[in-house]
Amino acid sequence: MIGGNDMKRQVLLYGSMVVFAVSLYSIGSYLYGYFENARDLADIQDVYAAPVTSEEAAQVTQMETEKPLRENITKLQNVNDDIVGWLELDGTKLNNPVLQAEDNDYYLDHNYKGGYSRAGSIFMDFRNDPANLGKHTIMYGHVMRDNSMFGMLSKYADEEFAKENRVIRFETMYDEYELHVFAAYETTTRFYYLDTEFEGKAFGEFIQEIKSRSRIDTGVDISVHDQIVTLSTCTTTDDDDERFVVHAKLIQKQR
C-alpha cells in the first residue's frame, strides 16, 4: 500500500505536471498567435504591394462613385469589403490594412479575414466616414509586443523618435494622406479624447487640451482649420483603463 506521505508526493507531482502542461499550452498558444498574425499580415501586404491587374483596373473603372477610386485599396476589398484603407510607417512593422465595422468591438478580436484573432485588426471608428474624413478620424489597434499593429506607438513618447518618424502614410479608397504627428501621451479612458463631432469652440479647446498633455513637440503647426487623426492603443500594464495616444495632422496629397 502507498503510504500517506507517498500519496501526497504523487498528488503534488501530478498537480505540478498539470500546471506545467497548462502553462506550456498557454505559452504555445500565445506564441502561435504572434506567428499567425505575422503570417496573415505578410499575405495581405503581398496583395497590397502586387501590381494591379488589368481585370482589377477594369473592375474599378466600372464602379460608379462620386470620386475616382484608388486601385490599391479597391483590390483589397475583394479580400474583405470592410477594408477601408492602409496605414504605413516606413522602417517599422506598422504596415496594415485599416478595417471598419458597424461597431468598435468586432475587429478587436477579428483579423481582416473575419476570423478570430487575439491580435485583432487596426480599425477605424465606426462613426467616421472613410469617403469624407471629418475633423477627427480615430483608429484603434492592439499593443503587440513584437511591435506589429500598434505595438510601436508608445515609441512616440520619445521626442527624437517622433521627429524622425513624424510622417505616417495613410491611404483610403479615394485619397492618399500624410499624417504629421504633433502630440503623443499616455492617458486613461477618463479623458474622453474620442469625440468625432464638434460644435462652436469645442474643437479648438480639444486641440489645446491635446497639446497640453503631449510629451513631445515635433514642430507641426495645428489649428482649428485642420483635420486630425488619432491613433489609440492600450498599454502593457495591467490597468485596462490606460491608453497611449498619438495625434497627427491630416494632409491630403495631390493626385
Q: What is the mean pLDDT of the chain?
A: 87
**Tens of pLDDT along 137-181?**
999 999 998 989 999 999 999 999 999 999 999 999 999 999 999
Say if strands 167-172 and 176-188 run parallel, antiparallel, or are unpaired. Answer: antiparallel
Q: Which among 13, 146, 168 has a CA at the least distance from the CA of 86?
A: 168
Give the residue carrying C-alpha cell 494632409: 251
d(CA 197, CA 229): 13
pLDDT digits (tens, 9 = 90+) for 191-222: 889 999 999 899 999 999 999 999 999 999 99
How far is it, in rounded angstroms, from Cα 85 to Cα 10?
58
Contact present, 175 and 253 (Cβ < 8 Å): yes
The model's pTM is: 0.85
Return all residues near 117 (Cβ < 8 A) that are at least 6 apart.
33, 36, 37, 40, 109, 110, 111
More confident residue, 132 or 61: 132
Q: What angle do CA 56, 60, 66 make, to 5 degrees?
A: 170
Exactly one of 108, 167, 234, 251 is catalytic; name it: 234
Provide mean pLDDT across the span 53-72: 69
Q: Give the pLDDT confidence score for residue 240 in this predicted structure.
A: 81
| 3-state secondary structure at position 105 | coil
Higher pLDDT, 27 or 237: 237
Q: Clarify whether 234 is annotated catalytic.
A: yes
Determine the distance from the C-alpha atom of residue 237 to the mean position of all C-alpha atoms in its chain, rounded to a whole number. 18
Query: Which tens digit of pLDDT belongs to each residue from 12-28?
Result: 556 555 554 444 444 44
Residue 11 has pLDDT above 60, yes or no: no
User: Which amino acid is residue 85, in one-letter code?
Assistant: G
